């Protein structure tokens, strides 16, 4: 409680006294826990060297065979303490400690420790000197992708946003002149800034905003103009169906969760960007879009279809014909019950089939 109140010095003194009173042979788990807690208090006091000593004492009691999760958590904390010192040697030691922690846990038996360690590993790899980073960037990207399987937007929004921002940085650095990779980076950075609250996460929000502007500048320098939604649908247009579904599912979920008027504005912007593409891309994305909407309740489905119908109705000539034909093609891919569900909504909205029926 004292530590939570910011009284880290008192907490440190008490954890140190507790560790002194425990017999490591008779109560190894209690001894290790006391030293681990002491290490956390020392970090709060800005004393990473003292924290390292405490964590190393804890590791003497947390045998890997008896206490794998506790040992992994302590190794992760030890890595963070080394990373806090920030010198090249200590960053290298942090990376080693994270690797040792990941040898002890899986996402099934210790999901949070597993994901947090992968995220910390990625952070330390990104903090390596510029000349040492390039060969490690694929490892950064893989670690972040792994941690995102646990750190979902719904369950761990802050950690999810941190991971997304770091993924954007890694992708940009990996291929600074590749449009596809830059658009992926832009997408992840935009996902992050949508989660960070500038009042609560000021530093992270500002960093992500700078990253967004830099990535947009790179795309503009390549002659690729357009807003973020335009870049998103241009990215999605060139992906496989499974990748399309993953990205559209994420974005539609985020849009539908927004309060009005942002919800309608975001869905409308997405639809307008889609219908501005080449016909084959309009058809492909519309098919993925309608499949994602099948996962939502009727109220959400109706809202999304209403907005798409309105966008389609405002189109002229060939663009309108393409949008209408793409909707019909998407309906044709659905199961009959799903098709009837969508058809009923569209009919009520005044949608007409391209054949006039």
d(CA 55, CA 41): 11
At 311-325, the pLDDT tens digits run: 999 999 999 999 999
pLDDT value for 6? 59
d(CA 111, CA 77): 16
Nearest to 74 by CA among 90, 51, 91: 51
pLDDT value for 91? 97
Specify the higher pLDDT residue, 255 or 31.
255
At 41-50, the pLDDT tens digits run: 899 889 999 9
**Omega of the bond leading into 261 within 30 degrees of 0 (cis):** yes
Task: Report the pLDDT averaged over residues 167-186.
Answer: 98
Please return the burial class of 353, using the count of CB atoms within 10 Å of its CB with bins 0-12, 13-18 and 19+: middle
Answer whether residue 353 shows pLDDT above 90.
no
At 128-149, the pLDDT tens digits run: 999 999 999 999 999 999 999 9
Task: Report the pLDDT averaged over residues 4-8.
Answer: 59
Nearest to 159 by CA among 105, 104, 122: 122
Domains and CATH numbers, the chain: 226-357 (1.20.140)
Q: Which residues contact 140 (CB under 8 A, 6 or more apart)?
A: 122, 125, 126, 166, 170
Nearest to 81 by CA among 118, 39, 112, 121: 39
Q: Which residue has the tokens 């060939």?
A: 318
Mean pLDDT (the chain, rounded): 94
DSSP code at position 5: T
Q: What is the pTM of this model?
A: 0.91
In this structure, the number of other CB atoms found within 10 A of the CB of residue 153 comes to 18
Q: Which residues contact 176 (CB under 8 A, 6 or more apart)?
A: 182, 218
Query: Using alpha carbons only, how large is the chain's radius of gyration in Å?
Result: 25
CA distances for 297 relative to 94, 218, 300, angstroms? 46, 39, 6
Of the pLDDT bands very low, low, confident and very high (cuts 50, 70, 90), residue 3 is very low
Q: Which residues contact 234 (CB under 8 A, 6 or more apart)?
A: 183, 224, 226, 277
pLDDT value for 20? 72
Instruction: Output the 3-class SS for 89-152.
Output: HHHHHHHHHHHHHHCCCCCCCCHHHHHHHHHHHHHHHHCCCHHHCHHHHHHHHHHHHHHHCCCC
Task: Report the pLDDT averaged over residues 168-192.
Answer: 98
């Amino acid at each position: 409680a004292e530590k939570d109140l910011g009284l880290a010095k008192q907490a440190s003194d008490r954890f140190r006294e507790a560790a002194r009173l425990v017999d490591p042979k008779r109560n190894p788990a209690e001894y290790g826990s006391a030293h681990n807690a002491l290490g956390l208090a020392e970090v709060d006091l800005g004393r990473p060297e003292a924290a390292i000593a405490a964590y190393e004492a804890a590791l003497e009691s947390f045998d890997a065979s008896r206490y794998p999760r506790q040992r992994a958590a302590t190794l992760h904390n030890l890595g963070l303490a080394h990373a806090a010192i920030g010198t090249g040697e200590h960053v290298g030691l942090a990376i080693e400690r994270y690797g040792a922690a990941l040898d002890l846990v899986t996402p099934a038996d210790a999901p949070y420790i597993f994901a947090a360690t992968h995220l910390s590993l990625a952070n330390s790899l990104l903090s390596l000197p510029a000349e040492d980073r390039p060969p490690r960037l694929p490892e950064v990207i893989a670690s972040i992708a792994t941690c995102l399987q646990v750190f979902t937007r719904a369950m761990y929004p802050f950690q999810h946003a941190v991971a997304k921002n770091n993924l954007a940085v890694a992708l940009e650095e990996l291929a600074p002149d590749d449009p596809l990779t830059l658009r992926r980076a832009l997408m992840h950075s935009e996902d992050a800034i949508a989660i960070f609250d500038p009042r609560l996460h000021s530093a992270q929000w500002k960093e992500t905003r700078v990253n967004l502007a830099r990535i947009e500048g790179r795309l503009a320098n390549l002659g690729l103009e357009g807003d973020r939604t335009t870049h998103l649908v241009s990215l999605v247009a060139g992906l496989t169906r499974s990748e399309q579904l993953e990205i559209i599912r994420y974005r539609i979920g985020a849009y539908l969760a927004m309060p009005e008027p942002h919800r309608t504005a975001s869905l409308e912007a997405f639809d307008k960007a889609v219908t501005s593409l080449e016909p084959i891309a309009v058809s492909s994305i519309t098919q993925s879009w309608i499949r994602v909407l099948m996962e939502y309740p009727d109220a959400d489905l109706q809202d999304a279809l209403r907005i798409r119908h309105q966008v389609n109705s405002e189109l002229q000539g060939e663009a309108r014909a393409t949008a209408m034909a793409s909707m019909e093609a998407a309906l044709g891919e659905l199961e009959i019950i799903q098709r009837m569900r969508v058809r009923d909504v569209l009919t009520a909205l005044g949608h007409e089939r391209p054949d006039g029926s």
